[in-house]
Amino acid sequence: MDNLKFGVINLGCDKNRIDAEIIINSLKRKYELVNDENKADILLINTCGFIESSKQESIDTILEMAKFKEGNCKVLIATGCLTQRYGKELLELIPELDIILGVNDYDKLHQCIENALATGEKSCLTSYSDTNINIGSREVTTGGTTAYLRISEGCNNVCAYCAIPKIRGRYRSRDMEDILKEAKELALNGYKEIILVAQDTTNYGVDLYGEKTLHVLLRELGKIKSIKWIRLLYCYAEELTDAVIEEIAVNDKVCKYIDIPLQHISDEVLKGMRRKGRRRIIEENINKLRKVVPNITIRTTFIVGFPGETEENFEELLNFVKETRFDKLGVFTYSQEEGTVAADMENQIEEEVKVQRMDAIMRTQQLISAEINKNKIGREYDVLIESKDKGKYVGRNSEMAPEIDGEVYVKGDNLAVGTFVKVKITDAMEYDLVGDHVK
């Protein structure tokens, strides 16, 4: 069949987004990409299966798209983490699905589509891999200035609450030359901000080079002239090396920003979670970051309501948040994921208690964030302009990762989207800033 159209819906994390971008680029070689489900002959949902809420969102989205089988849609496809975990079950649950592919089987997508169109044959492929890394040309979906760059796949950490190693396999780094080649291609195509992502960026290179080489990668990426910002996500505090911290400090291209999901601070809870880090080393590395990089922005996330978390454990966490004053912070309630060690633990916490604890931390962080932002009034920042909304330009400074950290609303005239401008902050909210363009 000629002139078929396809649409893709991506759910989940930045690593999932990269998979979807590779899929889109591959399908565009043969089919036309559309953004209207009513016009798509082929509909693909790239699912997330990390926690219960994301699994439910994925299922709801598949069911919503299944309705289009009554209209124009000839092939309905589900890919991603949820399908890797529950492929056969999904095929039984949602008979409208024609193709189910796990995270290691995207190379079979074209053949599966051809079979479905020609014979109506269904496919369900969810092979496990400790070696495959999805790489290839991408249709970047983050606009014309910012792109995510995967530096590794999988995870060797055996956190008690997490199913990622069972989904994505064991940790394997991408070859540095391969990463640099992709970064240079992104730069040639006009991308000015590169965001490094992995399940664990701090262990980059251990398997390939026998030692952690994230600092070397940052140094080499910094040599690409047209890249202005390099941003680090998904770092483990206890795995940070002095070399990485020093590179953040001295490399002008590396944003003075780091994302270190700590999950908790109570040693008792961290031990139950099977996390490597303990409070002492976490605090030492946070203090070292702030000493070596005085203006660094630190983002973290926590999990509340992990099995056995006592009121004392929670109070320790809450006090730690008050004392440490993170610039950016998010909180998840613990999700009881089947197939994980924590799912079978005793002393599961009631959902109501989890939500209360999450709200308490977020209320505290809201006040901290408001105070931190208020102190930025009068300062000037380089701001990346990303859109225009209701007469004001909207952008981010180097302290803000896209979609999670807030925005800067800029008053100015004739500012070009995709450019960096100097902005003086005039007002501040809990998470967002307001400023004037400095000519």
Residue 351: strand, helix, or coil: helix
Same domain, 389 and 361: no
d(CA 101, CA 89): 13
Same domain, 289 and 197: yes
Same domain, 362 and 397: no
Q: 133 lies in a domain?
A: no
Q: 138 lies in a domain?
A: no
Same domain, 297 and 199: yes
Residue 230: strand, helix, or coil: strand
Which pLDDT score is estimated for 143? 82
Same domain, 323 and 387: no
Residue 23: strand, helix, or coil: helix
Same domain, 203 and 222: yes
Which pLDDT score is estimated for 378? 96
Q: 139 lies in a domain?
A: no
Q: 141 lies in a domain?
A: no
Q: 136 lies in a domain?
A: no
Which pLDDT score is estimated for 420? 95
DSSP-assigned letters across all residues of 355-411: HHHHHHHHHHHHHHHHHHHHTTTT-EEEEEEEEEETTEEEEE-TT--TTTS--EEEE
pLDDT in tens, 145-181: 999 999 999 999 889 999 888 899 999 999 999 999 9
Same domain, 117 and 178: no
CATH of the domain at 202: 3.80.30.20
CATH of the domain at 407: 2.40.50.140
- Report yes or no: 211 and 173 within 8 Å, Cβ to Cβ: no
Q: Which residue in the block uniquely carries the two structure tokens 């069911």? A: 63
Q: 343 lies in a domain?
A: yes
Same domain, 186 and 273: yes
d(CA 403, CA 197): 15
Same domain, 85 and 184: no
Token output for 301:
């996330």
Q: Please state the three-class secondary structure of 124-181 as a single string.
A: EECCCCCCCCCCCCCCCCCCCCEEEEECEECCCCCCCCCCHHHHHCCCEECCHHHHHH
Same domain, 244 and 354: yes
Residue ending a domain, choose from 359, 374, 389: 374
Same domain, 36 and 64: yes
Q: 287 lies in a domain?
A: yes
Q: 364 lies in a domain?
A: yes
What is each CA distance from 235 to 36, 214, 239, 271, 299, in whole angstroms?
A: 37, 10, 8, 19, 10
Which pLDDT score is estimated for 2? 65
In degrees, rounded to 5, the angle at the alpha carbon of residue 256 between the alpha carbons of residues 252 and 262 is 145
Chain-centroid distance, C-alpha 3? 34
- Report yes or no: 375 and 273 within 8 Å, Cβ to Cβ: no
CATH of the domain at 20: 3.40.50.12160
| Residue-range definition of the domain harbouring residue 430 | 380-437
d(CA 28, CA 95): 26
Averaged over successive runs of 10 residues, the pLDDT of the chain (439 residues) comes to: 87 92 94 93 92 89 93 94 91 93 94 94 92 91 91 93 91 96 95 95 96 97 96 94 97 96 97 94 96 96 97 98 97 92 94 97 97 96 91 93 93 91 96 94
Which pLDDT score is estimated for 1? 57
pLDDT in tens, 75-128: 999 999 999 999 889 989 999 999 999 999 999 999 999 999 999 999 999 999
Q: How many domains does the chain have?
A: 3
Same domain, 151 and 100: no
